[in-house]
Copies of this chain bind each other. A is one copy, B any other.
């Protein structure tokens, strides 16, 4: 592109980031070139450090820089909230009063992409439930086809263990406008309507 190999290579690696096109990759590369050496060194070091130090919690599969993550260390596994990815733990943690632990599946069942139940961390979830006295498993996978299917699959699988399996509620988002809600969301919101006392 620029006929400068090192620059083209850098644009290339930036393009490999999710959602980054050629123009954005160029802007990122120019930012590196136009900054001082210290900036480039810090940038490179942060990448290597994060890759080296960040691993998955042996218990729940979330990101951690220890063997077991802070959440697993501090909280009891009475309630396990099952999510698709580590970033979902980050989202759920914004709900300040949830004091259960998490289980990161690292994917959802997706036949179209050849991801079956054995490709995600379902075995590990079963092991945790058997090991601990888990009372409830909250399925907090995404409200899309794969997330639903995975939630249903796991719920069925857990039935023999006598553990309560719940699904996060689906309905209209707080602060949104009905006008812009899609029909499936509205249908779910109607179906799951609750009585006002």
A49 to B29, CA, bound (A): 12
Number of copies of chain A assembled together: 2
Determine the chain B residues whose CB is within 8 A of the CB of A40 once the complex forms. Answer: 47-48, 50-51
A65 to B5, CA, bound (A): 8
Interface flags for A35-72 (1: CB within 8 Å of B; 0: not) read: 00101111111111111111000000001110000100
Determine the chain B residues whose CB is within 8 A of the CB of A52 once the complex forms. Answer: 6
Interface check A13, CB cutoff 8 A: yes
Stretch at the interface among A16-24, A109-117, A139-147, A186-194: A16-24
A-B contact pairs, 24 of them (CB 8 A): A3-B70, A4-B53, A5-B65, A6-B46, A6-B50, A6-B52, A6-B53, A6-B65, A7-B63, A9-B50, A10-B47, A13-B46, A16-B39, A17-B27, A17-B28, A17-B31, A19-B24, A29-B50, A30-B85, A30-B86, A32-B47, A33-B63, A40-B48, A40-B51
Please pick, from B18, B41, B49, the residue contacting A10 in the complex, using a CB distance under 8 A.
Answer: B49
- 9 closest cross-chain pairs (CB), A and B: A40-B51, A44-B44, A10-B50, A6-B53, A6-B50, A13-B46, A44-B47, A10-B46, A6-B49
CB-CB under 8 A for A51 and B37, given A13-B46, A31-B18, A44-B44: yes
Interface check A90, CB cutoff 8 A: yes
Q: How far is the CB of A16 from chain B (nearest CB, A)?
A: 8
A189 to B152, CA, bound (A): 62
Interface residues of A (CB under 8 A from B): 1-7, 9-10, 12-13, 16-19, 24, 26-33, 37, 39-54, 63-65, 70, 85-87, 90
The residue on B at minimum CB distance from A44 is B44
Q: Is A87's CB under 8 angstroms from B19's CB? A: no
Determine the chain B residues whose CB is within 8 A of the CB of A32 once the complex forms. Answer: 47, 50-51
